[in-house]
Every structure is written in structure tokens, then in C-alpha cells.
A and B are shown apart, each in its own frame.
Chain A
Amino acid sequence: MNEGIAGKLAKQFINSKITPLLMVASLLVGIMATFMTPREEEPQIVVPMVDLFIPFPGAAPSEIEARVAKPIERTLTEIPGVDYVYSTSMPDVALVTVRYKVGEDAEKSMVKLWSTLMKNMDKMPQGVQFPLMKKVSIDDVPVLNLTFWSKSKDPFQIRKTAVVVADELKKIKNIGDVEIKGGLKRQIKIVLDKQKLLKYNVSPLQITRQVQMANSQMTSGDFKQMNQEIVVRTGKFLESASDVGNIVVGIYGASPVYLRDVASVVDGPEEVNNYNFFGWAAAAPHGSVSGEYPAVTLTVAKRKGGDASLLADKVMARVSGLRQTVIPADVTVTETRNYGATASEKVMTLLEHLLMAVVAVTIVVGFFLGWRGSLVVLASVPITFALTLLIYYLLDYSLNRVTLFALIFVTGIVVDDSIIIAENIHRHFAMKRQPKLQAAITAINEVGNPTILATFTVIAAVLPMVFVSGLMGPYMSPMPIGASLAMIFSLLVALIATPWLSFRLLKTESGHHEEYDVTKTGYYKVFNTILSPFIESPVKRWMAFGVVGLMLFGAIALVPLKAVQMKMLPFDNKNEFQVILDMPEGTSLEQTARVAKEVSAYLKTIPEVSSYQYYVGTNAPINFNGLVRHYYLRQKANMADIQVNLVHKGERKAQSHDIAKRVRPGVQQIAQRYNGNAKIVEIPPGPPVMSTLVAEIYGPTQSEQIALATEVKKVFKETPGVVDIDWLVEADQKVYNLVVNKERAAFRGVSAEQIAQTLRMSLAGMDVGLIHTANELDPVTIQVRLPQSDRTSLHDLSGIFVQSQGMGTLTTRLRAGEMIPLSELVKVEEKIQDKSIYHKDLRRVVYVTADVAGATESPVYAMLDMDKKIQKLKLPAGYSINPLYTASPTTEDKLSMKWDGEWQITFEVFRDLGTAFAVVLVIIYLLIIGWFQSFKTPLIMMIAIPLSLVGIIPGHMLHGAFFTATSMIGMIALAGIMVRNSVLLIDFIQIRRAEGIELKQAVIESAAVRTRPIILTSGAVVIGSIVMLFDPIFQGLAISLIWGGILSTILTLVVVPIVYYMAEKKSK
């Protein structure tokens, strides 16, 4: 008897002492790896994204666009690996965002970017300042937020405490960025007194100069004397407010004018620039205080590759240690975010699910093979997973929900190889034709090689998913890699460990002496009655095919009928969401705070909300979403973020998405009352995008683009299910342009720069230096500014004076130092602030954004719905818009529109998965051709693949679930599994026929013999997947595997043998 690889391998190991050692060793390394692999909730996605801030003070957006943004964009697109270049040209500054292809090395990308930028800095116009370059990465998202709040302390004092704590926390090993949001810093304020300035003949600019000059100290050198060097230092830094006040800033008559004579110098909190409050809500822990309190948030990020839960524990331990020493009793520290805990919890739940899956599968196997058989199969699982976890650790993967789901997903599949081998050994032991050892080896020989082939077909099905590109790629890649690795290990385990175990554990039942006859088994009788009529009567056969075809057609028809909707990923059930509030540009900080407070007061009443915190004038700690949406730039007076924390998902019935849907109308109603726009932002289940729905509008001029955008926005508003509509066009903001009368200024010896600087100092204030104190952790700036009460209207500008520079300027005959009122030199023009100009890949674009919720949950349907309306829009130019889906428009001469947002990722994912599926089919086909040496047989086997749709699509309808990317993964994996079943089936028919058995008999016999392992393996997949049904994201995968698995197994067992029979009969 000739032996295949499988047989040889089994023979080597079945009686070897090394086998148990190998098994124990792999278990041990696996356990070690599990503890060493860092844990997190979401997989690490590296999207090298770099923000470039290029200041060009004074320039209008259009100038910045033409002189700064465009030239830089052009050079940046030349860098290899750059995916998109976005830019925003705002007044005074350009923001250019470069996004690299997913997976590009972050450091290398930075170097390339830096060198390209530097190469082109000489082409920048004069006045452009040095660019600020900021890398944005997933590790910037804080994993832990601590909110410091107090009933009696004010923001200035709370921040002081937070700064000390932050300093202490920074000493913890492996901690990332520690930041403080909100609160007021210490500042030395030089508050100018206009009357006194005029009286003493001192100008603000003069003060700045004097303060800067007084604040200096340096090492001047050394004296050498008597073999010694004595260091000489000169000057003294300003150390306190009184130091600052004692600076001489001018001369009046014969006496010096001190700074304290013309201004009050105040050491204390800076002027209010943010409102940050914390409050407990309806579902607060028992005994919490009501009301809201000034708060300061301390955010802790982790370092790359660090373990979030370990870090969070360390930080919390440190904070409770600091409670006795640096945190005063009346400052409460509340943990408002802990991704470490959620990650740990998720990982634990998943491991639990994994265990449940394994146990469930074992029980199923036990039904068929007895407890000894199930023990053999059970033993193979931990070994397989141990090895896979080791590889995860070696590949630098973390234990997150995707890597663990990969394991749950393959639980049903990895046991298959062991099941097939154990089942056949069991069968051969039962047949009692050979001695035990010989029987085992024969059994392995019989199914070993098709098992190897079958394993590779499944791997071939799963592995091409690695090639999913874009943001979803790294998100999904642990699935195919983890699953494939587990498959290979399971094959090795099946060929090495399972025979060893089976040989020892499985018993040859005694007292069962009659010769084994397949025709007497129950399976045979069943298949004989089912298959015989179809084999004998062609009419019945075609009727059966017709019925199956009709079922398939009916199932597919459910998709266009919208009974099953497509969506990339459904929302996960999280413990938080955010409200993003945008007031019209030009709204004061206090007005924004007022609206934020009102919205919070509403949110407070929602029964599931445990606490909230609103941030006005500073951004809330960002989450995954905020990274891509640039929420960390939300620090203007007209913007507020509200962080809403829900009670733990175990303690509430409603999913976070449903709560978000429920509060949306109420929140928006309040915002609209004040002309604001509020959005409910949930944590995305997959990669973040700018918005779920994005319409990019291109066109020849900005005004035409905005006009079309207005129309599109209207269409958005009219479409049910489209919510949170917004656009990236600023509201009209009033601007006073103070135009310098050049002639007059020259006549009085005043330069335009002097005027501009004086005004900036008076209104915005100007930092003129730092005071040098040893015991302050935050730098303390010295700021010159007019008091709040003196800068409220144009009227106040009248009291500001500039000094004439005198005859030195050669344009005046006034003496130097003459005070000239500003109002004499400038003319006021009122206008509207220029709007920011957005670019995407060098094209001017206006964005209209929205989310979908309620009537339709999937953006694709909303898009199709709106498409019809947008096409009907009347454009002044007389043509109609045809929204584009996949590519940017070719020309900017005509108005055009492209869909982006989640759609772009959906499109990429389904495109890549579709391609992967096609490749899978080809590879499977080739593999089977190689094995069976026939072009026709593989096609028969692959009939099973479309049959899985009969189960998958109605299955989704039954669960009311979306057909998601994970459903697609399930469908692809199922293709491999189903083909494997056919392989095992047909391989057996061929073996029987080679033994000289007639075709019909061979077909029925093989169906009967193979039913048990096929039902066992499919049953394992189905049972193993049930635990996944409870996860919102991977539900689709579970539905595909369960319903597709059941239906296609049943159909395979009937359809494949019949088709094979037909094909073979004809060829005879």
C-alpha cells in the first residue's frame, strides 16, 4: 500500500516519545505569549498622517491658496507613498494634511516629507513663517482621561493640581503623552491704562521693548586668577510681578516712569479662554452630587505597542497615592475614560467566547464520536491556538478584538482536520479489519492527503483577504493571517498529535464482531432513499435543480428588494458618544458655553447617561474619530464638544447607537434655537472617516461651488434618514478692516508695522517673555494687553496712541516720541471675513457632510436616493450634475460632485473583497485540478459555493442584520469550507470506483460514509460561530457561517453527488 505524506508523517509520530513533548511545549509557549502580548480594544492602525501648519500672517485665504498651499501641495504629491493631500487655506495660515498609504512607515514618511518641504522653502513668498509639522497617529488618542473637578476651587487652582499630577504621572514607565485640557494658566498680566500711557507719554510698543530688554541674563565669560576661573554672569531674569512692575519704561519730566505707573501688573490666572465643566447625570453612581463644576481634564496616551490596561492600572494606582499629598481634599478625580479597562474587558469576554466555542464544538463531536473522540479533538484546539498566539506575539500583533475574533472564527475550522482524521480512525477501528496500529495508519492514509488539500483550499479562500487595501486593510488583516496560520497549525496537529492521541484514547469496541457493511448503516439507507430517485429519473433530477435554482434566485433577489441592506460595518455598543456643537463663526465664547450648558442640561436627563463634560474653547480629548476629523483643532470660541459617558453596557438595555438616535432631535432642537448646529458623534466601528456621507463639490469658482453646495445641502435635508447635516463653509463673520492712511502715517513718522503691532498687542495681547521661577511647572508668560473693558468696540480704539519715530524716518518733522492717536491714522472698513478654501488633491472642493440614522442606516441607499434628486437640480450653466462614485472629476471647468466618506471605504473594501473572492475561486480551481487531474471535477465541487448564498442572504433577513464586510468575509471563508466538503466526498467516490464499485453505488456509498465527517465539520463551524452572533460587528460573519453553512451542507450532500453522477455517466 502506497503512503502519502500524511501517512508517512503519522507513522513517524504515532508511537514517538517526542509527540507528547511537542504538544506540551507548544502549549507552554502559547500561554506565555498570551500574557506577553499587549491588549487593546481596537487593532493598531497606522495611518501616517501629517499636519503642516504654515503661517503667513496677514494674508487672505485666496493669497494663501495661490502662494502657499498650492505650491506645497504640488511638491508633496510627488512624494512616493502619498495617498491624499488635503489643504485648508484660512486667513493667516495654511493647513496642509498629507495622508500616506496605509501601512507606510511613519518615520520614513516624515523624513521624506521634511526633506521635500525644506527643498521648496525657498519658493515660499516673503512673510511665510517656518512650518509646524505634526504627526498624527493612533497613539495620540488618550487611553485614560482623569477629570479633576471641585465644588470650591476655580479653574486656575484646579489646573495647578492637575499640572502637578501630570508631572508625577510622567515618571511612570511606558507612559505616552500626558496633556491637560481646560483650566487657566498662571500669567503675569500687564494691563495697560490708556489715560496714564498718554499722560506719561509711553506707547505700548515701548513697554514691550523695555520688558524684553530687562528680562535677560547671561554668562558673560570668566576671569582667570590664581589658577582659578571665576565665571561672570550679567543681568537678572524677571522673577515676579513686582520685578516686572519696577521696570523703567520711559522718562517723564526728570523722573523715571515705572511700568507700574502706567499699567497694573497682575500675577494670577490668565483671561478666561475656555469653559470646561463636569457634571453627573441621571444614571450617576448613587450618592453623586448634582450640578456642574469647573473641571480640568488630564489625558494620558500610551506609547506605541504598550498595553493600555497595564498602563491604566499603574496610573490609577499612582493617582490614588497622590491623593494624600498633592491632590487637595476638595478636588475630586473622576475617571472619565479608561480604554485599558474596556480593552481588558473585551479581551476577557472574547477569550470566554472562545472557550465557549471550543466547548460547544467538543460537545457536538462527542455526540458522534463518543467522549474519547471528542477528547482527541478537544486536545488539538489549545495546541493550535497556543501556536497561533505565539505567532501573534512574534508578529507584534496585539490581543484585540480582531485578532481574537480571528481565533473564534477558526475554532470551527481548526477542529475539522482533527475531526476528519479521528473520525476515520474511529471508523477503521470499528471495522476491525486490521490490527490497531495498522488500522490507524490506513485510516490516515485514506483521508490524510485530501485533508491536506482541503486545508489548503480553506487557506486559499481566507488568505487573499490580506490584500484588502486602504484603511480597512490593517483592520482586517489579522483575520486572514491568523486564520491561515491556525489552519496550518491545525493540519500539523491533526497529522502529528491526533493520531498519537487517537491511537491511545480511541477504543476498538469489543463485542461488535460482525463484518462492517456500509449498506447497513442508517446513513446509507437515508441517502439511498433520497438520492436514488434523482439518479434514476432525469425529470426528477431537473426538477430538483430547478427548485435549488429558484431558491438561489429568490435569495439573491432579497438584496435589490432591500430586505437585506448592505453596510460596511454596523455600530458597536460603546459606553460613550460625543456631541459636536458648532455655532456660527463669530459667536462669543460665553454664548457657545451657554448653548453647550443647555444641551448638557438636556443630556443630563437621559436615563442612560452617567456623566457629561463640556469643553468650550478647547477640544475634548479626541477619540479614534477625532483623529481623522481633526477634532483636536476645535479650539475656537464658536465650538464646543460635549463628552457623554453612558453607564456600562451591561447595565442598560439600549445600545449606544439607539441612545444616540434618541437624543439627536432634542440636542439639535436646542442648538438650532441659537442658530447652531449639533452633531452626535459615535465611535466608529471601523476606520474613521470625515463623515459617513460626504459630498465633495468641485467647480470653477468658489461662489458657484457654494451655490451648488447649498442646493445639495437642501437635498440632504429633504431626505429621510439623513441627519447631522453640515458643511465646511463658514458663516459670514463681520470683520473690521483698519486701513492705514499711508500718507498721514508717513507725515507723522509712524510705520504701518508699528500700527499693526500696537493694535495686536492691545486687542489680542502679546507675550513678551517668561518669568523665571524655579517652582512653577508650567511656563508663566508675561502678557501685555488692554483690559477687557477697554477693548469692546471701535470706539475704544480712539484712546490708543502710537509714538512718532521722529525725523529719523525722513518723512516727518515731528520730534520723536510725539504721541499720535491711532484713530487719526486708520480708516475703518467693515466687511465679511473671507471664507477658507479647501483643496483635495489640488482641486478646490466644498464639502457637505451628513450622517445616516433612523430611516436608513446604510449610506449607500441614502446616496442612491439623493442621486435622483441631485440629478434634477437646475444649474445656472444649464447642465445637470451626475454624482460620481469612485473617481474624482476629470475637469474643474464644470460643476461636479463626488461621493466620499464611508462610501469610499465601503467601495474599496467590497471591491477588494470581491477581487479576493475571484482570486480565491481561481486558486481553489487550480488546486483541485492539480489534485484530481481533471478540469471538470473541480467545477462540480465548486457548485457548493453559490449554494451558500441560499442560506446567507435569508439568514441576514431573519436576524434583521446588515450584509456587512464581515458577512462577506464569512461568505468567502465558507467557499473554502464547502469546497473541502465536496473534495472529501468526491475523493471517496473515486477511491470506491477505483476499487471497482459501480458508479451509482459508489456515489450513494460515499455520500453515506462522508456524511458524518461533513456534518461534523460543518456542525463545528456552525456551533463555533454562535457565540459571535452577540457581537454587533462580527454578527454578519456569524450569520454567514451559520446559515450559509447549514443550507449549503444540506444542498451539497444532495446536489454534488447527483451532478457528479450526471457528469460521469455522460463521459462514459
Chain B
Amino acid sequence: MRIDGTKRLMLISVAIPLFFYGCSSQELKSVKNGSPDLPVTVENIISVRTSGESGGAEILLVPKSAIVRKGELTGILVVGADDRLILRWIRTGRLLKDDLVVLGGLDKGEFVVGTYNPALNEGVTVKKGPRVTEEVQSK
């Protein structure tokens, strides 16, 4: 069938919105995966530790294994006040043994997921398992 100019125009004008609609909804399946309502037990929830530097200033430490990387972005899963996980972007400094110095984005005493597990998603409610509250002052 030959499609003349006006028909094509009509087709396109119908197709474009459809196309956009299609694009925005193609990721339908992944909506809230890991169903946030069911609490997930995470064993390794630890609090952000502080350590007295030799220079006198306090520094914050998190285990290297807790870090989430997305390209150049560095993040960590923080357990919020409502026990939900929040992905927090942080800036890290030096490596001290197995710990990374956090320069910005975290507060002392906040609870974070100690070992990053890609299965854990933002928005998931966690049950704090037997909390591995490591000795607050290392060194």
C-alpha cells in the first residue's frame, strides 16, 4: 500500500507520542522490586566509626566493603530513621587498612550496611539483625 504524505504525517504524529509513552514505561517490571514492605534481615549493619587522628581531628571510617560504586560516584547504604535503606553519596579519602576515611555525606553514629550486596535496594525496610557494633574507637 502506498502511503501518501498526509497519511505519513498522521502516522508520525500518532507514533511519536506512543513512542514516548512506550519509552517511559518500558521499565515497568522493576517497580519497587524487593518489595519494601517486607523487612529484610541484614546481618552486617554497623555504625559509622570515628577515630582520633594523630593530628587531633576526628575522622569517620567505614569498611571498604560497604562502598557502592556507580561510575565515579561513591555511595553507601544508610539505614534511615524509619529502618529503610537510603543510598547516600559520600566522598572518601584515604584507605586505613580495610577502612575508608569518609570526608563528606555521613554523620557519626549513623548505621550503614557493612557489606554491600547488590540485591539490597534503596527503599527496602531492613530488620537490624544482631548488630555488629564494632568497637567504637579503633586504634
Contact = CB atoms under 8 A, between A and B. Distances in A.
Interface of A: 151, 153-157, 184, 268-272, 275, 285-292, 294, 316-317, 320, 323, 332-335, 588-591, 593-594, 597, 601, 788-790, 792-795
Nearest to A587: B104
A272 B91 contact: yes
Nearest to A601: B86
B135 to A, nearest CB: 23
Given A789-B95, A793-B55, A184 B72 contact: yes
B122 interface: yes
B134 interface: no
A588 B91 contact: yes
Interface string B46-72: 000000011101000000000000111
Contact of A788 (B27, B88, B93): B93
Interface string B113-139: 000000001110000000000000000
- Pick the most buried of A289, A588, A795: most chain B CB atoms within 10 A of its CB: A289
B39 interface: no
Contacts of B21: 285
B88 A594 contact: yes
B19 A320 contact: yes
A269 B121 CA distance: 25
Contact of B72 (A156, A335, A597): A156
What 10 A-B pairs come out closest when comparing CB atoms?
A154-B71, A590-B105, A588-B104, A590-B104, A287-B25, A789-B94, A269-B72, A795-B55, A792-B93, A789-B93
Contacts of B53: 793, 795
Contact of A589 (B23, B101, B104): B104
B19 A588 contact: no
Contacts of A334: 24
B92 interface: yes
A792 B55 contact: no
B73 interface: yes
B71 A156 contact: yes
A272 B19 contact: no
A289 B31 contact: yes
A588 B103 contact: yes
B105 A155 contact: no
Nearest to A795: B55
Nearest to A157: B71
A1022 B52 CA distance: 78
Interface in B78-107: 86, 88-95, 101, 103-106
Q: A-side binding surface: helix, strand, loop or mixed?
A: mixed
A789 B72 CA distance: 15
A285 B25 contact: yes
Contacts of B92: 788-789
A588 to B, nearest CB: 3
Interface band, chain B: 35 or more
Contacts of B27: 151, 289, 332
B30 interface: yes
B38 interface: no
A344 to B, nearest CB: 15
B16 A323 contact: no
Contacts of B121: 291
Given A184-B71, A320-B20, A588-B104, 19 more contacts: A153-B71, A155-B73, A269-B71, A270-B72, A272-B73, A272-B74, A272-B91, A289-B27, A289-B31, A320-B16, A332-B24, A588-B91, A590-B105, A593-B89, A594-B88, A788-B92, A788-B103, A789-B92, A795-B54
Contacts of B1: none
A789 B101 contact: yes
Given A334-B24, A594-B89, A793-B57, A155 B71 contact: yes
Nearest to A593: B89
Contacts of A157: 71
Contacts of B30: 151, 289
Contact of A268 (B19, B24, B72, B74): B72
Interface of B: 16, 19-21, 23-25, 27-28, 30-32, 53-55, 57, 70-74, 86, 88-95, 101, 103-106, 121-123
A591 B93 contact: no
A788 B79 CA distance: 26
B33 to A, nearest CB: 9
A267 to B, nearest CB: 13
A241 to B, nearest CB: 16
Nearest to B90: A590
Nearest to A291: B122
B108 to A, nearest CB: 13
A191 to B, nearest CB: 13
5 contacts: A154-B72, A155-B72, A272-B73, A597-B86, A789-B101
Nearest to B101: A792
A201 B103 CA distance: 30
Contacts of B55: 793-795
A271 B24 contact: no
A961 to B, nearest CB: 38
A275 B101 contact: no
Contacts of A289: 27-28, 30-31
Contacts of B106: 590
A333 B104 contact: no
B8 to A, nearest CB: 13
A591 B88 CA distance: 9
Contacts of A290: 31-32, 123
A792 B91 CA distance: 11
Contacts of B24: 285, 287-288, 332, 334
B31 A332 contact: no
Nearest to B100: A789
Contacts of B88: 590, 594, 597
Contacts of B20: 320, 335
Nearest to A270: B72
B122 A294 contact: no
A792 B92 CA distance: 10
A107 to B, nearest CB: 39
B23 A333 contact: yes
A646 B105 CA distance: 29
Given A285-B25, A287-B25, A789-B95, A590 B123 contact: no
A789 B96 CA distance: 11
B111 to A, nearest CB: 15
A538 to B, nearest CB: 74
B16 to A, nearest CB: 5
Nearest to A155: B71
Contacts of A184: 71-72
A272 B72 contact: yes
Contacts of B73: 154-155, 272, 275, 294
- Pick the most buried of A789, A794, A795: most chain B CB atoms within 10 A of its CB: A789
Contacts of A795: 53-55
A794 B53 CA distance: 12
Contacts of B105: 588, 590-591, 593-594
B123 A291 contact: yes
Contacts of B94: 789-790, 792
B51 to A, nearest CB: 13
A792 B103 contact: yes
Contacts of A155: 71-73
Contacts of B32: 290
A468 B106 CA distance: 54
A589 B104 CA distance: 7
Given A184-B71, A272-B73, A795-B55, A591 B104 contact: yes
Contact of A590 (B16, B89, B101): B89
B123 A271 contact: no
Nearest to B105: A590
Contacts of A792: 93-94, 101, 103
Contacts of A271: 72
Contact of B70 (A294, A323, A335, A597): A294
Nearest to A272: B72
Nearest to B84: A601
A730 to B, nearest CB: 19
A750 B90 CA distance: 38
